[in-house]
Amino acid sequence: MKKFAFLFFLTIGILISLPNQSLAAENLQKKIDSLEGGAVLRLENKTYEGNITINKPVEIIGQKGTVIKGDRTGNVISVRSPNVKIRNLTVINSSLDRNSPEEYAAIKVYTNHNLIDGVTIKHSFHGIYLSQAHHNTIKNCHITGLGKGQIANQGNGLHIYYANDNVLKNNVVQATRDGMFFDYANGNSIINNKISDTRYGLHYMYSDRNSFEDNTFTFNTGGAAIMNSNDIDLKNNKFIFNYGYKSFGLLLLQAQNTAIEDNIFFLNQRGLYLDQATNSSIKGNKIMKNQIGIELWASSNEQVFSLNDIEENIIPVATLGGEGRNSWSDKGKGNYWGNSFPVLDLNQDGIGDEPVAYQSSLYELIEDQELTYLFLKSPATQIYEKLNQFFHQDKRMFEDPHPLVKKEEINLGWFGWLIAGMILFVILIKGRQWICITFGRNGRKI
């Protein structure tokens, strides 16, 4: 009997001393379930076992070392109540099952008017998923995926599905499949997010009236792809070094009424790529040092390009598939084309006295052979271009009737300013009389 009792208590002691994930999860879930609506739960600096469901309007606040760790069988945190706030914690280990009808995430939100602030997410399929959830705010979150080598095996950083009027602000997403994915999501504001090392930094389908401002898309295969969507505003975003086979900074495909203003397209394979796009306003952008500045297919019409700085691209503009109906100036103001297209401005009004036009034969190579993108810098490609120009077999890519002329600013540099300062000093010390003696009343030396 004593032996049996000893073994019984030894077994109980071992079970108590070992970590019990289901018990820990139950404890955190019980804490949440025991709260009154509107209560605040402050978590400790330790790891809590998931998965959990939040089904009442509460605020959960973590610390620097607070982790909620899923069991890899579902969503780590499911938000099923409105007015939930989650702050300052780390969430890891959602299910990575790609074949489940449920798309799992570190945090999946099914309700409205919630706040997710300062959350770090790792080792999950999707990062934060809004599912038919409206008027939510996601800000200051850092989502890291599995890396580019695992693109097919993971989800998106921020996934917005049938979700309207949300704010996504100051988030960092890297190494996921797509940084942000929008599907049937309208009226959202996306501000100051940084997306890198993904397939598409922004992937966008059937979503209207969204605004993107001050976001940065770098080192993605594609910076942003806007597809089958209307009334999109993109302002002050940066599309930098989005490079790869047929890559781009920004793609418009079957998009209408897009406003693209004051963005930077720098060191992309193609800065802007427009196909079956209609009525876009492309204004005040810097499109510089891309292989192709603008690739414009004939299926795109009523695009208006004005006040853009388009310079130092290997090909400034490639118009493909025939002639489209597009404008290269608006209200008498065109674009600045850099030193490759010098223009005269005799009346000094900032507008060139003659139109600027660019002709090229490379469109044939690009249309017929996609690998041409990889060899635009090749000497053979340049020879091909020169030969076709000699035999007049090239085609007009664009004609800007009112090209802009930049006024040259006087930049003396430190040495120039030093000389100017010395001259001013001499004038102040010696006075006007000395100048008149030296140069005479009319400025001539006597």
Answer whether residue 15 shows pLDDT above 50. no
d(CA 335, CA 329): 7
**Rounded mean pLDDT of 374-390?**
63
What pLDDT score does 381 carry? 64
Identify the residue with better confidence: 173 or 244: 173
Answer whether residue 147 shows pLDDT above 90. no
- Tell me the CA distances in angstroms from 54 to 78, 79, 140, 282, one per residue in order: 6, 5, 21, 44
pLDDT band at residue 388 under the 50/70/90 scheme: low
What pLDDT score does 366 carry? 66
What pLDDT score does 340 carry? 86
Query: How many Cα atoms are found within 13 Å in the side-chain-facing hemisphere of 190?
Result: 34
Query: How many Cα atoms are found within 13 Å in the side-chain-facing hemisphere of 125?
Result: 22
d(CA 172, CA 194): 5
Task: Give the distance from CA 439 to its chain's centroid.
Answer: 61
pLDDT band at residue 435 under the 50/70/90 scheme: very low
Answer whether residue 433 shows pLDDT above 60. no
Q: Residue 306 corresponds to which amino acid?
A: S
Identify the residue with better confidence: 152 or 168: 168
What pLDDT score does 148 carry? 72
pLDDT band at residue 286 under the 50/70/90 scheme: very high
For 97, other C-beta atoms within 10 Å of its C-beta total: 14
Torsion over CA of 430, 434, 436 and 440, rounded to 10 degrees? Answer: -140
Identify the residue with better confidence: 12 or 250: 250
d(CA 281, CA 198): 27
Answer whether residue 21 shows pLDDT above 70. no
Outline where DSSP puts E strands in 290-344. Answer: 292-297, 304-306, 309-311, 315-320
The ranges assigned to domains in the chain are 25-400, 413-446
- SS3 of 118-163: the string is CCEEECCCEEEEEECCCCCEEECCEEECCCHHHHHHCCCCEEEECC
For 308, other C-beta atoms within 10 Å of its C-beta total: 28
Answer whether residue 159 shows pLDDT above 50. yes
pLDDT band at residue 80 under the 50/70/90 scheme: very high
Q: Is 84 helix (H, G, I), strand (E, B) or coil?
A: coil
d(CA 266, CA 286): 8
d(CA 192, CA 263): 13
For 164-232, the DSSP string reads: -S-EEES-EEESSSEEEEEES--S-EEES-EEESSSEEEEEES--S-EEES-EEES-SEEEEEES-BS-
Task: Give the distance from CA 416 to its chain's centroid.
Answer: 41
On whether the CB atoms of residues 242 and 216 are closer than 8 A, the answer is no
Q: Residue 24 corresponds to which amino acid?
A: A
25-400 fold: Pectate Lyase C-like (2.160.20)
Query: If you average pLDDT over every residue of the chain, what do you get?
Result: 86
Cis peptide before 51 (omega within 30 of 0): yes
Answer whether residue 355 shows pLDDT above 90. yes
pLDDT band at residue 385 under the 50/70/90 scheme: low
What pLDDT score does 390 carry? 59
Least confident of 103-107, 158-162, 270-274, 414-418: 414-418
On whether the CB atoms of residues 394 and 428 are closer than 8 A, the answer is no
**Rounded mean pLDDT of 140-168?**
93
pLDDT band at residue 429 under the 50/70/90 scheme: low
Answer whether residue 445 shows pLDDT above 70. no
* pTM summary value: 0.83
Give the largest CA-CA distance in the chain. Answer: 129
On whether the CB atoms of residues 242 and 266 are closer than 8 A, the answer is no
pLDDT band at residue 243 under the 50/70/90 scheme: confident
d(CA 200, CA 158): 12
What pLDDT score does 375 carry? 65
What pLDDT score does 153 carry? 83
What pLDDT score does 373 carry? 63
Answer whether residue 216 shows pLDDT above 60. yes
Going 139 to 142 to 145 to 148, the CA torsion angle's sign is positive
For 346, other C-beta atoms within 10 Å of its C-beta total: 7
Answer whether residue 446 shows pLDDT above 90. no
Residue 160: which of 136, 140, 176 has the closest Cα? 136
What pLDDT score does 442 carry? 42
pLDDT band at residue 441 under the 50/70/90 scheme: very low
Per-residue pLDDT reduced to its tens digit, 43-74: 999 999 989 999 999 999 999 999 999 999 99
Answer whether residue 232 shows pLDDT above 60. yes
Answer whether residue 95 shows pLDDT above 80. yes
